[in-house]
Chains A and B, each alone.
Chain A
Amino acid sequence: MNQDFVAGDVHPSSVPALEVTNAGLRYGRTWALRGCFASVPQGRVAALVGPNGAGKSSLMRLAVGLRRADEGDVRVFGRPPRGANLPRVAFVAQDKPLYPELTVAETIRAGAGLNPRFDTPGARKRLDDLGIPQAKKVRQLSGGQRAQVAITLAVAKRADLIVLDEPLANLDPLARHEVMEGLMSAVAERGLTVLLSSHVVAELAEVCDHLILVSQGRVQVAGDIEELVSEHRLLVGPSGTAPAGTYDVVGSSETERQTTLLARVRGPIHDPRWTARELSLEDMVLGYLRTPDAVLAPRPVAL
């Protein structure tokens, strides 16, 4: 029987799995990221969303310790992703870099040789459960099977934070579903934290409960998806006016007769001429993507 996480014991610690504070990363003279803030609590499945070139991969490289921040601070479970803290993080790159000429079984042996805490029996069982033949060479596997092998290595490493760059790219719909099932099972069984990048928001709604939206090297908005969605409204009212209330405008458009605002509201909108409509996750994300300059990420609280 699988171990069940019962109510109340899912988040054993209040230290965030990932904490990014005013972080910047530079390639040569160009800043790929600047002034980024994000905090992902343990046990969450976080979506890293943004257009190509926005800085998603750079943020992931910081999180897994492949790069050090040129300014600001990046912490994984309260400590920098370096040295003894590194085994707690696993990275599944987009091209799922596995050795094509190794068999699956040899790949598992290589993983065991490279990672001190590697769970070989767990990895073998997981591959059996997924129906992946271990005698086959990696190059003989389908794209979905390769993704499953890469995720199996990350899980068997006993990492507590798994970072995946576009795990569903180039997979057919059935394989996408199966990869997500496998990943979510691992989250349930191990209480993992996951950070995954994607630009297909519709696929993330059932899977992710946390969002980090990046654009032009900044975190535009980040937080619990349900809270974010409940705070955002589409406000529609007469042109040339603004509704009374406390809110931040993310984006706006204007016609001759009416003004439409995407806003993060901090209290009720008391204005009979304006209507406030709730948004789906997808609409909210699209609203931000349309206005890449809007940055409403949390700022650090002064201590």
Chain B
Amino acid sequence: MSGLIEFSLDKRSGVATYMQIVQQVEQAMRLGRLGPGDRLPTAAEVVGRLAINPNTVLRAYRELESRGLVEPRPGLGTFVQRSLGRPRDPALERGLVSWVREARAAGLGPEDIRALVESALSGGLTEEATA
């Protein structure tokens, strides 16, 4: 039996391997691909695909446990404990898709778009400043 999600590693990211696993689980939970009661892949399943040390997987799962996101059940596996996903908002998503299309049409690349979103999130872009 294989897990509901598969991990992938970016060896050039500079992010520790266990933290990449933590982030991918959180990301899957935010996007609703993992929800309460779902079982994470076992350490054996993960290392059988990624050729990494199983202790790295266990460390990631311990970190997720300490964040209150997952719960180990001895002999059964590690299970997602709560939901990070928000109910989907189609109007909001449509707005974003059309905004991204406009940004591309205006000649912005992915990095420019990310920088703009980051700036807006951190308060660097306000409606007054852009008015």
List residues of chain A with CB under 8 Å of any chain B CB: 1-7, 9-10, 43-45, 177-178, 180-182, 184-185, 187-189, 206-209
- A185/B47 contact (C-beta < 8 A), A4-B77, A6-B72 known: yes
- Cβ B78 vs Cβ A188 within 8 A: no
Output the least CB separation between A238 and chain B (Å).
Answer: 30
Instruction: Give the interface segment out of B51-59, B89-97, B104-112.
Output: B51-59
Inter-chain CA distance A208–B52, complex, in Å, is 8
List residues of chain B with CB under 8 Å of any chain A CB: 1, 9, 11, 17, 42-58, 61-62, 65, 72-78
- Cβ B62 vs Cβ A7 within 8 A: yes
Most buried by A among B43, B57, B75: B43
What are 28 A-B pairs at a CB distance below 8 A? A1-B77, A2-B42, A2-B44, A4-B75, A4-B77, A4-B78, A5-B58, A6-B58, A6-B61, A6-B72, A6-B74, A7-B65, A10-B55, A43-B55, A45-B53, A181-B48, A181-B49, A181-B51, A184-B51, A184-B54, A185-B44, A188-B42, A188-B54, A188-B57, A189-B44, A206-B17, A206-B50, A206-B56
Provide the residues of chain A in CB contact with B78, threshold 8 Å: 4, 6
- Cβ A206 vs Cβ B55 within 8 A: no
Provide the residues of chain B in CB contact with A178, threshold 8 Å: 51
Output the least CB separation between A211 and chain B (Å).
Answer: 13
Provide the residues of chain A in CB contact with B56, threshold 8 Å: 206, 209
Inter-chain CA distance A206–B47, complex, in Å, is 10
Inter-chain CA distance A207–B52, complex, in Å, is 5
